Chain A
């Protein structure tokens, strides 16, 4: 037991959880914590320029590293600016710990300066949240917060910390640093696994639908093994991209609204769909009533709330994806009734060949597909691609071949424009030795472009590749397709000059207008030794296709000509 202030206790408790980085901005109600941080060498604080970016950076950090990311802000406006980022993390099951200052306890509920009712505001968008009233409670809250964030389905946790608690002194015991916390794994019910195996054995045309749960559970090896054992193709959700290396012969890429045609057709034709670590979002399934219409469905997920929420399920297995897949594999191998479904595998290979996406356009203005192709060639397989939201995101999701887990980071559930750039900063801080590239749109990037200052001041070498079409492109696409081409308020114009913007912040900046120049400029951006912005002027008329209209059937896609 040692006497210390709440502020010091907070940092000690964070250290004991292995925290090395915090993204944040100080303000009146959290000055005591920043005061303690002043003499804390083992935690690096990355000063961002807007709190929303702190939350996204912590989120990107968590997704790249597989460990919680921490963000910090002051009370009231600071904390409220975190909300979008925290909800984003909640929707995508990302373990973000948010810590905010709060007005002193005696002023709670009085509309004090910079007071916001954060217990209420954070409550619906976190796995759990705390309003801490004493130093003792604080130490306990930090321990619980990390446990909650990482146990079962991951998610964000918020700790609201009144100023007087930061300053109060108390004797507390800080637990020793947890060097390696064993992941708590939930074993599935063996009876359910048995039922699942029976369905798998009887299936002629199985498809595996893999989601973010595979990545958080570290179940990629089991996923690949199951796919190979059955000869079953793997389709993924946006969160599941990279759960199987997408250059694997059995990978069909992303499913859904902007999924690969082969993926959507395989799901429509399959007689068994094995969903693992997925939540069957409307963007993946289209009209849920016609989803996998010929198939029995097995749903494996760690969150029992997801079972049967959106699609009918024939067998549900609640538990850790890695454990569940390992149990299924063990049973399948013991019985060895048969392995690869050769006819189905042939059909899959034929579909894959027939619908392999075209990317090698030489057009001017540049086609976005070509840019993705160039990015894929410029990056090595360990690089991390982060995306903004909108057309740029879906081009990346559709065309980019992710070669392993945690190498593709995108805002799925919430679809938060402005996510990509700060998230890429977080990813780069987490994995400094890897190349990190943000696939951006001009609209999205501008929503958090102030973070160029953060990148430059902290020398975070990420490349932001802007797919610049001067539009809020995805909205424009919907207007073109479903609203008679009435492009209401989606034209953004020519401002700003992104090259000058980058240079104004002290970053590297350049522009590309011809496809032949992309390779060279990308190389330059990746090797310039500072944060870089590459403004690629693309064809504003290009849509993200194929597309399944919202609520449509997966095999009824709008395709390119």
Chain B
């Protein structure tokens, strides 16, 4: 069992997420992450992370391909794809000194300060899933009031026609 990454290209129609996700539910698979976005073509791309052995991963790929609105199911490998996760967070009310420390940290981590209001900061950090985890820990979880994460998106490095 290891983490599998599916990049699923499908028609952007109501219910397509349910069609896809129930295939996993039915086989007792808990997805680690699922994200969806619309491509310029108008098709939707769903990125799904889940744990499975080789047999189950191949089976799930074929199960998804059988769905009517599905155009393509790519199985990505971490070594030939780029991964990214965006994390927005809101801190609790910070003192001046603590605030400067947080801002410096965000900048050094390549993140962004999006808003500061009434002593609370909304910031953005991004990177691989592990990097985001690490940054959040370094930032100090006790400082964080609310965190919203995008889930993981992967893009294949291979140039395909």
Interface residues of A (CB under 8 A from B): 119-120, 123-124, 127-128, 131, 148, 303-305, 307-309
User: B33-76, CB under 8 A of A: which get 1 and which 0?
Assistant: 00000000000000000000001001100110111100000000
In the complex, what residue of chain B is closest to A305 when comparing beta carbons? Answer: B62
Task: List 28 contacting pairs A-B, 8 Å CB cutoff, sorted by A.
Answer: A119-B14, A119-B15, A120-B18, A123-B15, A123-B18, A123-B19, A123-B22, A124-B22, A124-B26, A127-B68, A128-B67, A128-B68, A131-B14, A131-B15, A148-B68, A303-B66, A304-B62, A304-B65, A304-B66, A305-B59, A305-B62, A305-B63, A305-B66, A307-B62, A308-B55, A308-B58, A308-B59, A309-B59
Q: In the complex, what's the smallest C-beta–C-beta distance from A518 to chain B, in angstroms?
A: 46
Complex-state Cα separation, A305 to B67, whole angstroms: 11
Complex-state Cα separation, A208 to B151, whole angstroms: 49
Q: In the complex, what's the smallest C-beta–C-beta distance from B15 to chain A, in angstroms?
A: 6
User: B92-119, CB under 8 A of A: which get 1 and which 0?
Assistant: 0000000000000000000000000000
Q: In the complex, what's the smallest C-beta–C-beta distance from B20 to chain A, in angstroms?
A: 11
Q: In the complex, what's the smallest C-beta–C-beta distance from B149 to chain A, in angstroms?
A: 28
Interface residues of B (CB under 8 A from A): 14-15, 18-19, 22, 26, 55, 58-59, 62-63, 65-68
Complex-state Cα separation, A413 to B129, whole angstroms: 43
Complex-state Cα separation, A148 to B18, whole angstroms: 19
Given contacts A123-B18, A124-B26, 9 further A-B contacts (CB under 8 A): A119-B14, A123-B19, A124-B22, A127-B68, A128-B68, A131-B14, A148-B68, A304-B65, A307-B62
Q: In the complex, what's the smallest C-beta–C-beta distance from A176 to chain B, in angstroms?
A: 25
In the complex, what residue of chain A is closest to B58 when comparing beta carbons? Answer: A308
In the complex, what residue of chain A is closest to B68 when comparing beta carbons? Answer: A128
Chain A residues in 8 Å Cβ range of B14:
119, 131
Complex-state Cα separation, A366 to B1, whole angstroms: 56
Chain B residues in 8 Å Cβ range of A120:
18
Complex-state Cα separation, A309 to B19, whole angstroms: 20
Complex-state Cα separation, A305 to B63, whole angstroms: 6
Complex-state Cα separation, A309 to B59, whole angstroms: 7
Complex-state Cα separation, A127 to B67, whole angstroms: 8
Complex-state Cα separation, A124 to B22, whole angstroms: 8
Complex-state Cα separation, A74 to B104, whole angstroms: 64
Q: In the complex, what's the smallest C-beta–C-beta distance from A299 to chain B, in angstroms?
A: 13
Complex-state Cα separation, A305 to B58, whole angstroms: 9
Chain B residues in 8 Å Cβ range of A305:
59, 62-63, 66
Q: In the complex, what's the smallest C-beta–C-beta distance from B22 to chain A, in angstroms?
A: 6
Complex-state Cα separation, A123 to B68, whole angstroms: 11
Chain B residues in 8 Å Cβ range of A128:
67-68
Q: In the complex, what's the smallest C-beta–C-beta distance from B75 to chain A, in angstroms?
A: 14
Chain A residues in 8 Å Cβ range of B66:
303-305
Chain A residues in 8 Å Cβ range of B26:
124
Complex-state Cα separation, A119 to B55, whole angstroms: 31
Q: In the complex, what's the smallest C-beta–C-beta distance from A6 to chain B, in angstroms?
A: 19
Q: In the complex, what's the smallest C-beta–C-beta distance from B12 to chain A, in angstroms?
A: 15
Complex-state Cα separation, A41 to B33, whole angstroms: 54
Chain A residues in 8 Å Cβ range of B65:
304
Q: In the complex, what's the smallest C-beta–C-beta distance from A148 to chain B, in angstroms?
A: 6
Complex-state Cα separation, A128 to B11, whole angstroms: 14
Chain B residues in 8 Å Cβ range of A307:
62
In the complex, what residue of chain A is closest to B25 when comparing beta carbons? Answer: A124
In the complex, what residue of chain B is closest to A304 when comparing beta carbons? Answer: B62
Chain B residues in 8 Å Cβ range of A119:
14-15
Complex-state Cα separation, A308 to B61, whole angstroms: 13
The 9 A-B pairs of least Cβ separation, nearest first, read A128-B68, A305-B62, A304-B62, A305-B63, A305-B66, A119-B15, A124-B22, A123-B19, A148-B68
In the complex, what residue of chain B is closest to A144 when comparing beta carbons? Answer: B68
Complex-state Cα separation, A128 to B63, whole angstroms: 13
In the complex, what residue of chain B is closest to A126 when comparing beta carbons? Answer: B68
In the complex, what residue of chain B is closest to A309 when comparing beta carbons? Answer: B59
Complex-state Cα separation, A131 to B55, whole angstroms: 34
Complex-state Cα separation, A131 to B68, whole angstroms: 14
Q: In the complex, what's the smallest C-beta–C-beta distance from B87 to chain A, in angstroms?
A: 32
Chain B residues in 8 Å Cβ range of A309:
59
Chain A residues in 8 Å Cβ range of B68:
127-128, 148
Complex-state Cα separation, A308 to B19, whole angstroms: 23
Most interface-central of A123, A128, A148, A305 (chain B CB within 10 A): A305
Complex-state Cα separation, A303 to B67, whole angstroms: 12
Chain B residues in 8 Å Cβ range of A123:
15, 18-19, 22
Complex-state Cα separation, A314 to B26, whole angstroms: 27
Q: In the complex, what's the smallest C-beta–C-beta distance from A206 to chain B, in angstroms?
A: 27
Q: In the complex, what's the smallest C-beta–C-beta distance from A34 to chain B, in angstroms?
A: 28
Q: In the complex, what's the smallest C-beta–C-beta distance from A90 to chain B, in angstroms?
A: 12
Complex-state Cα separation, A131 to B18, whole angstroms: 14
Complex-state Cα separation, A161 to B95, whole angstroms: 60
Complex-state Cα separation, A303 to B62, whole angstroms: 9
Chain B residues in 8 Å Cβ range of A303:
66
Q: In the complex, what's the smallest C-beta–C-beta distance from B21 to chain A, in angstroms?
A: 11
Q: In the complex, what's the smallest C-beta–C-beta distance from A57 to chain B, in angstroms?
A: 26
Complex-state Cα separation, A492 to B15, whole angstroms: 44
Chain A residues in 8 Å Cβ range of B19:
123
Complex-state Cα separation, A304 to B63, whole angstroms: 8
Q: In the complex, what's the smallest C-beta–C-beta distance from A117 to chain B, in angstroms?
A: 11
Complex-state Cα separation, A285 to B55, whole angstroms: 20
Complex-state Cα separation, A131 to B19, whole angstroms: 14
Chain B residues in 8 Å Cβ range of A127:
68
Complex-state Cα separation, A74 to B159, whole angstroms: 51
Complex-state Cα separation, A34 to B143, whole angstroms: 65
Complex-state Cα separation, A190 to B47, whole angstroms: 34
Q: In the complex, what's the smallest C-beta–C-beta distance from A152 to chain B, in angstroms?
A: 9
Complex-state Cα separation, A128 to B16, whole angstroms: 11
Complex-state Cα separation, A148 to B67, whole angstroms: 11
Q: In the complex, what's the smallest C-beta–C-beta distance from B43 to chain A, in angstroms?
A: 17
Complex-state Cα separation, A308 to B55, whole angstroms: 8
Most interface-central of A124, A127, A303 (chain B CB within 10 A): A124
In the complex, what residue of chain B is closest to A153 when comparing beta carbons? Answer: B66
Q: In the complex, what's the smallest C-beta–C-beta distance from A287 to chain B, in angstroms?
A: 18
Complex-state Cα separation, A312 to B68, whole angstroms: 28
